[in-house]
Amino acid sequence: MKKKIPEFKNEAEERLFWQQHDSSEYFDWSEAEEVIFSKLKPTTKTISIRLPESMIEELKLLANKRDVPYQSLLKIFLSERIDSELHQ
């Protein structure tokens, strides 16, 4: 039998609880179903990154061929590489 989830006063209390407890003691994850939230936009954070000018120009060339903004193409490239590194 799984443990009962306690009542929380607020979100901060709940967040702290889950940081300190293993959710598998409270949920049977073997019965979980994958859900896709297609309408959600991930939060973004602005960063500054220094790249060689030639790399930026090449990226712009590739982006132009695909008819996408170069920053979007850079995000696609990063996402694909991160995914491949994590799932090797």
Per residue in 16-75, pLDDT tens? 999 999 999 999 888 899 888 878 888 889 999 999 999 999 999 999 999 999 999 999
Task: Give the list of residues 6+ apart from residue 73 with CB closer than 8 angstroms, or none.
Answer: 59, 62, 63, 66
The full set of domain ranges for the chain reads: 11-86
Radius of gyration of the chain (CA): 21
pTM (predicted TM-score): 0.53
Q: Are 25 and 2 in contact (CB under 8 A)?
A: yes
Chain centroid to CA 65: 27
Tokens 């000018």 sit on residue? 53
Query: Residue type at 16?
Result: L
